[in-house]
Amino acid sequence: MPIRLLSPNIVNRIAAGEVIERPAAAVKELVENALDAGARRIEVILVGGGITRIEVIDDGCGIARDELALAIERHATSKLSDETLVRIATLGFRGEALPSIGAAAKLTLISRPEGQDGAYRIAVAGGEVAAVAPASAPAGTRAIVEDLFYATPARRKFLRKPAAEADAAERAVWRLALAAPQVAFRLVSDERVMFDVAPQDEAARVAALFGRETAGGLLALNVERDGVRLLGLAGPASLSRATTALQSFVVNGRPVQDPLLRMALRLAYRDVIAAGRHPVAALRLEVPPEALDVNVHPAKTELRFADANGVRSLVISAIGRLLERPVSLTGAPPVYAPRPTLNLPPRASLDWQSRASPQARGFAEAEFALLTPPEARQFEAAAPLAAHPLGAPVAQILDTYVLAVAADGSLVIVDQHAAHERLTEERLRAEFQAGQVVSQPLLLPVVVDFTPAQAARLLAQADVLQSLGLEIEAFGPGAVLVRAIPAALKSPDAAALLRDLAEEFGESETPVALEAKLDSALARLACHRSIRAGRRLAPAEMAALLREMEATPRAGTCSHGRPTFLKLTRAELETMFGRRGM
C-alpha cells in the first residue's frame, strides 16, 4: 500500500482524540481559555453530561472580529510569548483546544472585546468552518459545544453514561475553581446548580467546595525551601476519606493530577491513617518557571520538575511536621510552625507497668476535684484545664475508654490502647532518630520457629531490627533466636512480637519499601508495648495518659491510623438529645 498524506480533517480528528477524550476535557480547555482571558466570572452549563451541549460564558477580554477565524486554526495562540517553552505563564499555550473541539463536535464562538462595536460569531462543525457573522452578546466570550464526538463515532461509543460524564466535568470545574479563587464560578448541570461561588480568598473557596465542616478542621501550611514554596491546607490524620475526592493540587496556578505529588501526599500520611483511607488536602506549589516543564502531555495535567526529589521531600517533610503538632481541640486551624522537638514527660511518670507516682496521683486528684458537684460550675474557668485540650478524666468505661471533660465543656473519649500505642511509637522513633535505642538482653534467649522461607526473610532484616534494639540470629533450619529486645518495651512476649514482625516484611528492597518496613516495625513494637484494652487504670494513670497525648506529635491517631480520641461538643450533644432550638 503506497504512503500518502492524510487530509487536514482526518489529521485534526486524530489530534482531537489526544486533547479532547471526553466532555470534561472540553470543559477544562474552555474554562482555561476563559481564565487566560482574564475573566472575573465564568459560568459553565452542561446538558446531557456535556455530550449534548456545553456552554462556557465569561467576561474576559474577548476575541477580536478579525482574529476569530485564526482562533480555530491549529497551533494558533495569543498566549505563548516564550518560544523556548521555559517561562509559560498561562494555562493554555499549545493552540490545540478550539480546533480539536471543532473537529470532533459542533463549536460556536461568540465574542466581543471591550470597545468593539458589537459581537461576532464563528461556527465549526466536524472541521468545516462557516464565515464570521455579526451576533448579539455582552463583552466577553461565549463558547457553545454541541453533539460532542458526532464526527468521531469511534470515540463517542466509548463515552460513559451522561451522569458519569457530568460528574467528571463537574470535577474539572471544581479543580479550576480551587485554582482561581479570585474568580466567580457557576456550574449548572441539566438545569441544576451544582455550585455558585463568588470571588473569595483561598480559605473561603476551600470551605465552599470542600464543605465548611470539613474545611474547619484543616491546618494551614506555608513553607519554602530552595526557591519552592508550598502553601495551602491539609487535614489532620483524623480527617480522612474513603476516596481522593477531597484532594487538590495547584502548581503555579495550574490544577494538576501529577503522580509525583499524589505519591508524596500519600507517603506523608502513610503511618498516621488507616490503609484504604485518604487524606484531605488543598495544596498550592509555587515553583520557578525554569524548574518546571508543563509541556508533557496534551491535557497539561502532569508535570516534570527539575528537582523532583526536592519537591517530593518538601511535601512529605512539611506535612509530616504539620501532623506532629500536639493534640488541639480549639477548632482554630493552626498555622505552619517549625518542626517541634519531642518533649515527652519523664518515663517514670508514665510507667504503665506500675502505679503512678504520688505527684501524678495528686495532680489527677486535683483535676477530679474540679468535677465534684460543689465545684462543677467553675469548671470552664479552671485555669489548669485551659492549657489541656483533652481536659480532666472523669471515668473509665469497659476498662478500655477514658472519659474526660475539656475546659470548653466538650466530652472527650480516649481509646487507651490506641493512644498509648502512638505514644510508645513516637518515643521509640525519637530514640531511633537520635541513635539512642537501648537493647535489653534477655536472661534466657527465646527460640521462635518459622518456615525456612519466613526465617530467611526475617534474618535478612536483622540489621534493620538491630537498629531498633531487637537482636536476632539464626538457630538451625527454620528457627530464629531472640537475644535482646528494645529496653522501652519492658517485657513483651518476644515470640509473638517476632512472629508479627515477620509478617511486616515483604520481598521488595526499594528505598521506599525499606522505610515503610521501618515504620511498620516501629508500629508493631509499639503495639506490643502498649497498655491493652480491658486493663483498669488508676485516676493518675488516666490523667498522665491525657497529658502525654497533648505533648506528643501525631497523637490524634494510633500507629494503624485509627483515631485515639473522639470529641463531642456541647452543640453535638444537644443535637443528639433533641435539645437544639429549645
> Whole-angstrom Cα distance, residue 412 to residue 430?
27
| Residue 17 Rama label (left phi>0; alpha psi -120 to 50; beta) | alpha
Domain locations in the chain?
Answer: 8-197, 202-323, 340-582
**What is the CA angle 31-315-94, rounded to 5?**
30
> Whole-angstrom Cα distance, residue 516 to residue 509?
10
> Whole-angstrom Cα distance, residue 221 to residue 211?
19
SS3 content of the chain, % helix, strand, coil (to 5): 40, 25, 40
> Whole-angstrom Cα distance, residue 530 to residue 109?
67
Is pLDDT of 496 > 80? no
User: What cell numbers appear for 468 in the block?
Assistant: 531498633
- Number of separate helices (H) and strands (E) present in the chain: 19, 25
Residue 111: pLDDT band (50, 70, 90) is: very high
b (16+ CB within 10 A) / e for 136-152: ebebbbbbbbbbbbebb
What pLDDT score does 352 carry?
36
CATH 3.30.565.10 fits 8-197, yes or no: yes
What pLDDT score does 272 carry?
80
337: DSSP letter: -
pLDDT tens, residue by residue, 225-235:
989 999 999 98
Is pLDDT of 94 > 90? no
Indicate the pairing of strand 565-568 with strand 411-415. Answer: antiparallel
Is pLDDT of 170 > 90? yes
Residue 285: pLDDT band (50, 70, 90) is: very high
- Which tops the pLDDT comparison, 491 or 563? 563
| Residue 352 Rama label (left phi>0; alpha psi -120 to 50; beta) | alpha
Task: Determine the average pLDDT of the residues in 370-396.
Answer: 57
Fold annotation for 202-323: Ribosomal Protein S5; domain 2 (3.30.230)
Fold annotation for 340-582: Ribosomal Protein S8; Chain: A, domain 1 (3.30.1370)
86: DSSP letter: S
What pLDDT score does 383 carry?
40
User: What cell numbers appear for 79 in the block?
Assistant: 498566549
Residue 347: pLDDT band (50, 70, 90) is: very low
Q: Which residues contact 310 (CB under 8 A, 6 or more apart)?
A: 225, 226, 228
What pLDDT score does 271 carry?
74
- Which tops the pLDDT comparison, 36 or 430? 36
- Mean pLDDT of all residues belonging to the chain: 78
What pLDDT score does 582 carry?
56
Q: Which residues make beta-bridge pairs with 219?
A: 234
Task: Determine the average pLDDT of the residues in 531-548.
Answer: 78
- Which tops the pLDDT comparison, 387 or 268? 268
- Which tops the pLDDT comparison, 135 or 21? 135
Percent over 90 (pLDDT), the chain: 30
Residue with cell 483515631: 563
Q: Which residues contact 379 (CB under 8 A, 6 or more apart)?
A: 370, 371, 385, 405, 407, 409
HSE, side-chain direction, 13 A CA sphere, residue 290 = 1
What pLDDT score does 387 carry?
66
Residue 457: pLDDT band (50, 70, 90) is: confident
What pLDDT score does 20 carry?
80
Is pLDDT of 129 > 60? yes
Can you give the pTM of this predicted structure?
A: 0.64
What pLDDT score does 87 carry?
53
Task: Determine the average pLDDT of the residues in 454-477.
Answer: 82
- 442 close to 484: Cβ distance less than 8 angstroms: yes
